Amino acid sequence: MAEATQAAQPSETTSQRLQGATRKKRNPVAKAWRFLIIYPVVPGIVLGLLVIAGVGADYLYPRDPIKQSLSLRALSPTYGRASEFSELPADHPQHIHRYEFFLGADPLGRDILSRIIGGARITLYVAVISLGTGLLLGASMGVIAGYFGGWWDEAITRAVDMWRSIPFILVALVVAAFWDPKTPWVVLFLLSLVAWPPFVRQVRADALLLRSRDFVLAARIAGASHTRIMVKHVLPGTFSTILVVASLSIGSLILTEAALSYLGAGIPDPFPSWGKSVSEGRGYIKDAPFIIFYPGLALFLVVMSFNFFGDWLRDKLDPRLRQLV
C-alpha cells in the first residue's frame, strides 16, 4: 500500500506543475500583453484617430486654426471648472483660455489643438496622394524592369540609383526659393518623387521570380500579350510586397514633409502643418515649450504607429519570416 502511494506521488506532482503552467498561461495581464504584441492595437488606435481627425477636421475644430490673436500669443494651457469663469465675459482672455485653448496657443495666438487637427489632414494628404502617386509609378516601373529584364532592367535600375543620389532636401529648398507655392500640391508632388524608388527595387525583385513561373509561361504559350501578363499575372503576385513597402515608407514621407515645413520649404501658409508648428515655436522653447511639445508628440506617435504597423504587416505577409517564426 505504501509502495502504491509512493508510485502515485510523482504523477500528482506532475499534475500540479501542469496546473501551475496553465494558470500562468491564463494570467490576464500576460494575455493582454501578448495580445498587444501580436496585434498592432495601439498603432491601430493612433492611426484610427488620425483618420478621424483628418477626415472630420472641419467638424472637430474647437477654434478656427487660422484665426490669429496677438493678445493671446504663447498662451499656456490651464484647466479649471466652468463655474469658476461663468461670470466672465465671453471675450475675456481667461474665459477664452479655459474653453477654447485646451492645449494653449502658438506665437500668433492660434489654437494649438486646432492646428494639430489640421496637420492630421495634411498627413493624410501625404499618405494618400504622395504615397499613392509614388506607388503607382514605382510599382509599374518595377514590374516592367523585372518582367522584361535586359536593357529595360538596366535602364530603370540605373535611373533609380541616379535618382536616389540626388539630395532631395536641397532640391526642395531651391524649388521653394524660385517658386513660392500658394497651395500644398507642389509639396505633395515633390514628396511623390521621393516615394517611388523603394517600390521599384522590391517589386522588380518579385517580378524577376514570377516571370519564370509556370502560370506565366502558360499565359505566353496561350498567346497573351505582355501587358496582359504583367497586369493579370505578375502584378497581383507583388501585392503583399507593395503593401509592406507602402506601410514602411509612409513614416519617412511624413518626416520629410515635417522637415520641409520646418525649413520653410514645405506646406505654405495658412495651411497648418506639424513641422511648421514646431518651427514656429522654436523661439519659445524655454518660456513656452508646449508650443513644440504637442505637435512633436503627434508627429512622433503617428510615425511610430506607421512603423510598428509596417513591421507587423511584414511579419504577417513575408513567407520567409513566417517560416522562421
pLDDT in tens, 112-162: 999 999 999 988 888 889 999 999 999 999 999 999 988 999 999 999 999
What is the length of the chain?
325
Domain ranges, ordered by start, for the chain: 42-64+111-324
pLDDT exceeds cutoff 60 at 6: no
User: Hunting for cell 535586359 — which residue is that?
Assistant: 150
Is the torsion defined by CA of 116, 117, 122, 126 positive or negative?
A: positive
pLDDT score of 207: 92
Q: Are 92 and 100 in contact (CB under 8 A)?
A: no
Q: How far apart are CA 88 and CA 113, in angstroms?
A: 23
DSSP bridge pairs for 105: 111
Q: Report pLDDT digits (tens) over 13-58.
A: 555 554 555 555 556 666 666 665 667 788 889 999 999 998 998 8
Amino acid at 61: Y
Cell numbers found for residue 15: 499534475
Q: Are 104 and 96 in contact (CB under 8 A)?
A: no
The CA angle 294-299-304, to the nearest 5 degrees, is 125
Other C-beta atoms lying within 10 Å of the C-beta of residue 138: 26
Lowest mean pLDDT among 235-239, 264-268, 293-297: 264-268
Cell numbers found for residue 243: 503593401
pTM: 0.78
Q: Are 205 and 145 in contact (CB under 8 A)?
A: no
Closest by Cα among 11, 17, 322, 37 to 25: 17
CATH number of 42-64+111-324: 1.10.3720.10
